[in-house]
Structure 1
């Protein structure tokens, strides 16, 4: 079956929220009811319960990347540590990774503090190498982590868990988890609403007018606010969104409930998902109900569209994972939007020349922890200012991302490149065999 619904569909938010009609005045208006927007709103109301906060969403809560990810919560941000050290220096490379670790801890604390039921399963993540080139890159990454005193462990081939026995080695990242992203996003909306948050759905913002106050215009009304936060991530063409963010759609799928033999063989994937090193490479996690989620399918240009191509690549990846999966079929596939930038870093901060207009996006496939934590920082900057916040000095806090060329010719070239990546990343191979050029694990898309 080639469906278009993520496995989290059963947890979709069923609350009916109104469209924006008429003119409204508030302290902070947030564009986008995803993880960044809602975490910004919740943090604002926790820091200052007297604020009037409004979230306006083009579709429904969790309808974008926040509801179509694969539920992997883990550290890492930007390029590989070995690259980050050359590009930014040791202090920034170390601070950036520790920021991503803190982002994971923040989400874990948020879920526990608000008693959010989202099938949270704490654990770790194992990024594995399927060829010698990837294994060598992982050894360099482990050396960089050791030099920076970071909690990244090299796992030799003979130390890999049974489910990863066919690989050549791996890197283990601690303080990770899996969860249901739709449940997390929808319940964050509920947490905010119980504190006075107003959420408008089916109200796309058509224009952002800057001035002494900022005005958002929708088809049915306007919002006038002291501060506006644009949190649209992959939908970078939205009014007020930062430049340099490109939206893509990445395919994932889920199997039917696995037979007992397969569940026994893959039991370790509940607490430690398996991620192949490399761009668009497959990754796997076992859900609490016994189904297997597999990512790293076909990728397409543009954030819109939910139907995914035929699941041949995903099916091949599942069957290559374990002999017990030889007869297991993909139950449903879907396409989730991800936001990419040229340098692999998010773009978070103030609009150039307007401290009242803020933005966050470009999570580069690692949005589950990054998006939530960015929201917390945006809220703190609004309430307390940026003074004394060292995270404001990190390289992704900026008014825009590096320029990305656009146009029909560029789009055609990008389409061909994505097709080439899709074809290369989809070829199963024996360990040590030739394969696609690997890139730093930080660029894999598995939010």
Structure 2
């Protein structure tokens, strides 16, 4: 597989540092940024991108970084994936936009057909396209409310669903997502997530007790006939890649079905091959009523979707759903290219292989370090929760130190977790093993500095 940089060239899959980090050109851009952008709009690193592909990102100073973040799970098929670039370029030459609500086009329909076929379940389905994960989540709630005639939405501790008003309300973490941005949307209720590592009475009791809390909330406090939907991430993303205790999601799904409550799987971060299946809910054999996707859907272009039961999706009145840019034709073409890349290059299996390698490397690091409390995740969505040695107390300082070491030495990492103590790894599925091993060598050296 090759990774185009510009016509006639390829982007070398190597880590390379040629200046201090950040370099002079990145510092120049940082100064311009400070004068032009609001201070609340922050970035994780001080380097500015010039090119990216495969498993590397090259900055404006010609430093080449190993990418373990994929733009927060967006470039799952890699930056500049050939089929994505080709299809999007061809579409750009035809037309950039018409607004599907005004003059529709085939690409939108083709993406919907693919998602209807790929999402779990053999029932009749429909798909509507949007721009962002937050939009998809908000529209899933709209569909659930109109289909059930009920107002309430139940979400979980540690959840992240977006930054718009309703999605921000559904998100659990105050800083930095909700602080001083209220008042929030009504009829959103929260229940504990079955988080085995931090469950008070231990992991063996986690699923049953968390499920008991959900049923008590719905049946006793809210009334099941007031609840439109339960919205859950099959693996919580920003919450720290929390994999719910075994059996928990199945119990939730059965409970929702018994009470006529719709189950919405938020697969914005977990979907589109990231976990080694098309959708993370497949690992639990779940068939949600509605599934939201975004991030990895279009290979880096903004596109999101709600896919669900036809009777639910058809419940909204004509004109009630849509958006000016929703399902942009270039983004739709890119999504079809992303599907091509996943199928042609066997990226579902590749995600599983990457996950096995990362877990193996992290287990080796953990054996010589007392700060890794838990390693968790699925496929190419793996995290390490860092703690103060001998305890389960969150260790934010260790995360900051390891991240800083990695960035200074040419590896881009991401953090997560309600307590800010999780390192999360989301490499593009096109990353070569040699590059991934090099990155974890840098990570190992970072842990050695603690």
In the superposition, the TM-score normalised over structure 2's length comes to 0.26
Higher relative contact order (CA 8 A, sep 6+): 1
Higher helix share: 2
Higher strand share: 1
